[in-house]
Every structure is written in C-alpha cells, then in structure tokens.
Structure 1
Amino acid sequence: MTRNNTEDTVALIGAGAIGLSIASAYTRIGAHVVVCGGHTPIERISVTEGEQSQSWPVTHTDDPSAIAGIKTVILAVKAHQTESAASWITAAASPSTTILVAQNGIEHARRVSPHSGESHIVPAIVYLNVERTEPGHALLRRAGDHDLSLPDTPAARRMADELSAGGMRMRLEDDFPRTAWLKLLVNLTANPLTALTGRRAEVIREPGITELARQIMREAQQVAQAEGVHLEPSDVETELDWLMHVPAGSTSSMRQDRLAGKPLEYDALTGAVVRAAERHGIDIPANRMILALLAAIRPA
C-alpha cells in the first residue's frame, strides 16, 4: 500500500507491548512513528516474533503540541491510564484525526470522547499476546486467525487497510458490541486469574481454575444479554476452549503489571461487568469476588 509521505506520521500514545506491535505495522508501510511521553525516551522500536526480530527508528517527544496535525493516532495506554494521557489526546484532536483505541473492555468511546473533540474514534479489540521485554521492544505471539477487530465504519476500514498492509491480520465486525463482549469473556478470566496466581495462561487448564473461569464467563454472558448483546452459553465454551489452547508461555498484561508493581486494569474489565450487572439487578458472585481481590492489591 502506498501512502502520502507528507502525511506519513503516526502518533503512538502508550509504547507498551500492544502499542509497539501496532505501531510496527505502520512502520512496515513506511510511516514515521512519534512516541509520546513515557518514562524512558525511545529512539527505536523492535518486535521479535519467533526467530525473527525487526527494528525501526522512531521519534520521541515529551511535548503534546508536537503531535498537533497528525491525523493517525494509536492510543494504547491501559484503560485506567486514559485520564493521564488526556493532554496528548486533546493535542491531537481534530475533525480529520482518527484515534485507534487499543484498550481492553467495552467502554472505549466513553473513556476517550471527553478529550477527543470531533476526532473519529475507532475502538479496537486486540488478540495479540505480547510482552514488552524492555523499553521499545516487544515479544509477539499470535493466537487464532486475526490480530485486531474493528467496527465496520469508514474510518476503521481505512485503518484496517493500512494495518493489514503492515502485517496485522484484521477483521471488520458488523456487530462490534458482541465482539467486544466475547473478548471481555477472555480478559475477565485470563487477566485476573494469572495476576492473582502469578502464573502464566497455563493455569487456566487446571480443573479448579477452569471451573472458576467458566463461572466468571457465564455470569458475564448473562449480563451481556441484559445489555442487549447477543451472547449464548455456547459462546462461553468457545471462548474458554480458545483460552485453554493459547500458545505455551502466554501471559497477560495484568500479570505483567502485578509483577512490576504497577496499578492493575481491573475496573475496565471486571468493574465494567459489575457496574452493568448492578444496572440490571443481576447477582454475579464470582465476578464480585474477583473484583474485591483485585481491588485489595496495592502497587509496590
């Protein structure tokens, strides 16, 4: 795919594992990436997948005004960090700006829209399993048959074309809320259970943990139905089976954050389901227990 070099710049807000992986797709089609903020200035990003490693130069800035006028923005901070990234989102915002929101959960637009003005918001469901091994470097594993799902809108279709040309396996969804809830079923189980146990995704295969994961998902499925999203009990079994067959060594961002002593992204996941359950008067004891346990963890 050929892009106009005069507009060939992408702003990356959140240079974690997911952000680095998505940004690398843009570098493969000739885009220049500007990395926004962060504790460590990054001059190159690199991605290792299997035996292959690739690296690309990037520009780092600590000045939000430096990204004004950039029309493509990747927002890949954790959901609970959105407010801390508000100055960057606002600086980039314009009617011609498209913001890819690569965050977990089901409330992408609600979190970002207070800061994004008339920008086009494209929520993304991410299926990549990635670890940031050091600043600027990501270890990428792929599972399933696609890497990102986007809603089938004009702005999303443009991004899907670009990312696909850069090596991302893209899918456009007619029923994006259902897709978001299906991914949430996985995140509600894999993220908390790996973070609470300190173990990688293989822990889900242990019989007792498998049953707990199934209960967490079944409760969420009932809440989704109440929210008007079509999920069936069979969807729970499909997603649980997928989770139990992820590549060996797979981890979760929540486990990584706990091991690093960072705040955990539980409010956008379990918290969102508990809030929705309260709106409909649905009792979800397993999710409430998980929420209480996660809320009790204190960053180092």
Structure 2
Amino acid sequence: MASSPLKTICIYGAGALGGAIAAKLATGLGEQVTVSVVARGAHLEAIRAQGLRLWEAGADRPLVARMTATDNAAELPPQDLVITGLKGHQLTAAAPGIAGLLHSGTRVAMILNGVPWWYFHRDRQSGHAERQIEELDPNGELWRRIGPERVIGCVAYQGAEVINPGEVELSNNGRFILGEPSGENSVDIEAIATLLREAGVNISISPRIRDEIWSKLMGNAAFNPISALTRALMSDIMQNPALAAMVGDVMNEVKAVAESLGARIAISVEERLERSRQIGPVRTSTLQDLLAGKPLEITPLVGAVVSLAKLTGISTPTSATILALVTQLDRENMRAAE
C-alpha cells in the first residue's frame, strides 16, 4: 500500500465497536500508524494492563492489541483521524475532548446509530440544508466545537459486545459504510477507507449516506427500544407475533419519515422483517446498556424520528408510544442505579 497521509488515529470511545476497530488498526497496520484510544473505568485499566483483546467471529484465539490508552484526551497530541465509538447521547459531553484532538486537517468518522447531529449539513435531499437539530446537539456544541465539515458518516452492521473489561467479542463478520455528508467521493474518504481495509475492516463508501442511515434505523428504532422494554433478544421479539407486528409498524413509520426527507430506501418493510427473522439471539446495544445500568440511547433512535415526523407532517403513533415508554424506563433505570 502506498504511504497513507493518516499517521495518527484516535478511537474516542473504545467500547464494543470502537474497541474492535482500534484492535484491528493496531494489529493490522503495525508501525504504519500510531493508534490511541480514549476509554474509561475498568475497561481502560484492563486495556492498559493486558492490551485490548478482540475475539473475531469463529476465532479460537483473540487478537491482542497494545496501544496508548487514556481517559483524558488532553494527554494526546492532535490526530490525523478521530473515530468515535460513542453513542449519540454521549457525544455532547465528549465534544471538548474531541475538539482538543483536532488540527486543521483532522477528519472525524462517527460511528452512529440513528439520526446524527450533522444530518442536514450539505443535504441536497430534504430542503432543510444546514438545519441544526437541538435535541441531538444541545446549544450547538458539536456543530461549533467539531464542525459538521469535518465529519464523515459511518453506518455499522457489526454485532459486538464488551464481554469483560478489555475484551470485545464480535458475533458476525460485519461491515461498515462510510459517506461524506455532501455525497462526494473525496480524497479524505478514499484514504480512510483504504487504511481501514488494509487493517481488515470491511468498508464500503456510499454517495448517499443518509439512505444508509435510515435503512439501518428501520431496525434500530424498533428492536432497540422494544428489547429494552421487554428484555428480549431479537430472535425472541420476532417469534412473538404481537411484537413482530409492532416492529413492522415502526419500520413503516421510519420509512415514511425517511422518504419525506428525500431518502431512498431500497428494501421493503416486508423484506426487512424477513431478514430480521434470520437474526439469531442477539442482545441489542440498548438492552446491554439497560442491564448495565447505563443511560439509554433514545433520542437518536426514536426521539429524532418522532420530531422529524412532525417537521414533515408524518404520523408516527407507534414510535411516539414507544418513545414515551422507553423514556420513562430510562428514568426509572437511572433512579435505581443511583
């Protein structure tokens, strides 16, 4: 591979997905790049003590990656690339730390489920270009500190879970989709995709990243909150006729909102439901967070769907009901964790 312009890479939020990418970069690229991670708690201490251990699907031994690990991004120099593995509701608090890692040319690839804070930046599909979404970016902190012009969108189809501190397990051989908000096939996105492929990450580039965001969200907006409310695995949800019907209702609502904003969803709800029936006993990230006593990712997955539906005049009664229920569940879960 020709020498990459990306020499320093920080994974900010090295949990399940972020940790998996960090481990692959550190083990797959050797001295080509300097990889660092921002993590916290027992997970951070384990990474420092024994490295980050990654079990790929079907592997009989883990990859073991050693790298600089910290809970204070200010200890790190400016980076050529920052990859965030944080959930949408965690980003605002991390904005100052991420901002401190930026130099004039730094790009920030954000692995996010749901509607991202930068959604309308350079958007030619919706008629709402440069509109900011307050509930996803309170007081415009991310827009101001990081800047939507730095962002590269990333949609992940990768089952992953932190099974022990410092140890990540992948449930499948997943894939990641990158896209510039403008739809351009830029020099930056090509360089990032090439580097990640060299590290063994399955990467594609989409000129319509918003289509990919909504296609993934059809599943997340349904399965994530329903799994938290019921504590059920995805396979159990689909085996319950009433819950499977509710999943279909949410998918239809999400698809309608997406299309009202100019997105094109290639797959039908019926096809998506059929694919969902093939998914095994997967525990969604929201259910993982609930069981761990962590705040739930609600606004990017459900809240933004409901608010954007109001913006475009789409009715979303099932999503609105689920939003009310899972919001109260989150409050009770946080109260119990205090």
Normalising by structure 1, report the TM-score: 0.91
Tell me, yes or no, if the aligned pair for 2:222 and 2:247 is still in contact at 8 Å: yes
Alignment partners' CA distance in 2, 1:87 and 1:135: 26
Aligned pair partner of 2:102 in 81, 85, 93: 93
Tell me, yes or no, if the aligned pair for 1:147 and 1:169 is still in contact at 8 Å: yes
Instruction: Give, in angstroms, the shift of residue 2 of structure 1.
Output: 5.8
1:119/1:285 Cα in 2 relative to 1: closer, same or farther (>3 Å)?
A: closer
Instruction: Give, in angstroms, the shift of residue 244 of structure 1.
Output: 2.0
Instruction: Give, in angstroms, the shift of residue 108 of structure 1.
Output: 4.4
Instruction: Give, in angstroms, the shift of residue 229 of structure 1.
Output: 1.2
Residues 63-116 of structure 1: per-residue CA shift (max 9 Å, x gap):
332333211111111110001111211101222111110111122426543321
Tell me, yes or no, if the aligned pair for 1:120 and 1:155 is still in contact at 8 Å: no
Instruction: Give, in angstroms, the shift of residue 164 of structure 1.
Output: 1.1
Q: Percent identity?
A: 28
Q: Count how many residue pairs are aligned between Structure 1 and Structure 2.
A: 295
Across the aligned residues of Structure 1 and Structure 2, the Cα RMSD in angstroms comes to 2.0
Instruction: Output the amino acid matched with 2:177.
Output: S
Corresponding residue for 1:269?
301
Corresponding residue for 1:171?
204
Instruction: Output the amino acid matched with 1:66.
Output: E
Alignment partners' CA distance in 1, 2:224 and 2:2: 38
Instruction: Give, in angstroms, the shift of residue 3 of structure 1.
Output: 4.7
1:119/1:95 Cα in 2 relative to 1: closer, same or farther (>3 Å)?
A: farther
Instruction: Give, in angstroms, the shift of residue 196 of structure 1.
Output: 1.3
Instruction: Give 1:61-210 correspondences, 5 Å limit.
Output: 61-109=70-118, 111=137, 112-117=142-147, 120-142=150-172, 147-151=175-179, 152-206=185-239, 207-210=241-244
Tell me, yes or no, if the aligned pair for 1:105 and 1:184 is still in contact at 8 Å: yes
Are 1:292 and 2:324 an aligned pair?
yes
Alignment partners' CA distance in 2, 1:220 and 1:61: 38
Alignment partners' CA distance in 2, 1:216 and 1:119: 32
Poorly superposed stretches of 4+, deviation over 6 Å = none
Alignment partners' CA distance in 1, 2:306 and 2:156: 22
Alignment partners' CA distance in 2, 1:211 and 1:250: 19
Normalising by structure 2, report the TM-score: 0.81
Instruction: Output the amino acid matched with 1:150.
Output: L
Alignment partners' CA distance in 2, 1:237 and 1:67: 48
Alignment partners' CA distance in 2, 1:108 and 1:239: 26
Are 1:32 and 2:41 an aligned pair?
no
Unaligned 5+ segments in structure 1 are none
